[in-house]
Structure formats: C-alpha cells, structure tokens
C-alpha cells in the first residue's frame, strides 16, 4: 500500500465521520455508511458493467471503470421509508401515516432506487453526501458523487435491506484526476 492510498483510506474514514455528524431532521439519524473492501469494489464495478451493458447505459460503463480504478469507495445511503413525523407532504402524501402505509405496500424495487421515500430523509442524505465530499476536497482527494454506483450498491446489498437510496463516492489520489476527461461508452 502506498502512502497516498493509506491517506485516502484515512480520509474515507473522515468522510464517514462528516456524513454521520451532518445535520439531520429532528436529530434522527437514518444514514447508512460503508467503506467498500477491494473485493466489494471489484464486485460493484462488474455489476455496474453488466447493468450498463444490459440496459445500454454507457455512463454506467464509464463509472464502472472509475470505481475499479479508485483507491477507495465510500457508499452512503438512507432508510427513506422511515417518516420524520412532521406531515409536511413533500413525499406526495398528506400525512406521514399515509406515506408509511404506501411505502409498506411496495414489494419489489423495479427502479434504481426504492420509493416512495420521505423527502426530508432524502434531504438528510444530500447533506450527508455533501459533507463527505467536502471533506474529501478539503484533504485534496479526488472524488465524484455517483448515483450509478450507489444504485448498484443497493442491488448488491452493501448497505442492507432497509436502504432505499444510496450514492457512492469513489476516491483517488493520483497525478491526474481520474474523474475528469471521462468518455461515455456507447
């Protein structure tokens, strides 16, 4: 392991800390976080390649290459089916009770993320992901927030069955940022 790779792993831990301590609605923490092992990282890249090929989505193939080339990958998700309890209606339901009933009726996920989701929980996820990416930037670690890798990480169960939405943040320390000048595979 190089000095840089060790530093990237340390920063990934600081990013997890930033995500965990980021502000959350009513102080309720439904954030899920994992740092992938190298085996999980390879498995994620392969699954993204298969998904992108099957669905003719070149940007999944592009992102799969980035996942494989990264020094570390942090995945942050949310338990979005847990209502905050403020009846704000942002989820599309008049009450949190109506949302909870509707979200319990969904049996199988057929889209990249499992919905419906509490909009306030999704905002919590965005704040946590932003805090983590900011921490990487502060420490000069190249990174990219990827919905593609997060959605496939859900398929692979890396954050457990209760996770409904996730984003992955691959990290790299090299002479040139691997997340720029990327070409979408057709």
pLDDT band at 106 (very low <50, low <70, confident <90, very high): low
Q: What is the pLDDT of residues 40-81, one digit of tens each?
A: 999 999 999 999 999 999 999 999 999 999 999 999 999 999
Among 72, 90, 60, smallest CA distance to 152 is for 60
- Ramachandran area for residue 140 (φ above 0: left; ψ -120 to 50: alpha; else beta): left
pLDDT band at 1 (very low <50, low <70, confident <90, very high): low
pLDDT band at 184 (very low <50, low <70, confident <90, very high): confident
How far apart (Å, rounded) are the C-alpha atoms in residues 164 and 133?
20
Q: Is the pLDDT of residue 183 over 90?
A: no
Q: Is the pLDDT of residue 32 over 90?
A: yes
Q: What is the pLDDT of residues 154-172, one digit of tens each?
A: 999 999 999 999 999 999 9
Q: Is the pLDDT of residue 105 over 80?
A: no
| Mean pLDDT of the residues in the chain | 94
Q: 140 and 32 in contact (C-beta within 8 Å)?
A: no
How far apart (Å, rounded) are the C-alpha atoms in residues 76 and 163?
9
- Compare 124 and 107 and report the one with higher pLDDT: 124
**Cis peptide leading into 116, omega within 30 of 0?**
yes
- The helix or strand, by DSSP H or E, that contains position 167, with its residue range, turns out to be strand 165-172
User: How many residues comprise the chain?
Assistant: 186
pLDDT, residue 172, reads 97
pLDDT, residue 155, reads 94
- Write the secondary structure of 48-101 as one string of H (helix), E (strand) and C (coil): HHHHHHHCCCHHHHHHHHHHHHCCEEEEEEECCCCCCCCCCCCCCCCCHHHHHH
Q: 79 and 100 in contact (C-beta within 8 Å)?
A: no
């Amino acid at each position: 392991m190089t000095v840089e790779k060790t530093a990237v792993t340390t920063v990934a831990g600081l990013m997890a800390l930033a995500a965990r301590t980021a502000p959350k609605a009513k102080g309720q923490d439904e954030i899920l976080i994992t740092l992938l092992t190298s085996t999980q990282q390879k498995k994620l890249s392969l699954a993204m390649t298969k998904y992108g090929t099957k669905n003719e989505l070149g940007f999944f193939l592009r992102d799969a290459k980035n996942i494989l080339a990264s020094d570390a990958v942090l995945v942050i998700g949310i338990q979005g089916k847990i209502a905050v309890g403020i009846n704000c209606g942002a989820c599309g339901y008049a009450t949190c009770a109506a949302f909870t009933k509707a979200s319990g009726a969904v049996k199988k996920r057929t889209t990249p993320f499992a919905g419906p989701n509490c909009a306030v929980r999704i905002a919590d996820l965005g704040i946590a992901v932003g805090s983590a990416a900011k921490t990487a930037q502060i420490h000069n670690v190249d990174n990219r927030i990827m919905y593609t890798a997060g959605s496939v990480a859900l398929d692979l169960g890396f954050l457990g069955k209760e996770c409904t939405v996730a984003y992955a943040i691959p990290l790299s320390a090299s002479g040139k940022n691997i997340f720029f000048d990327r070409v979408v595979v057709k």
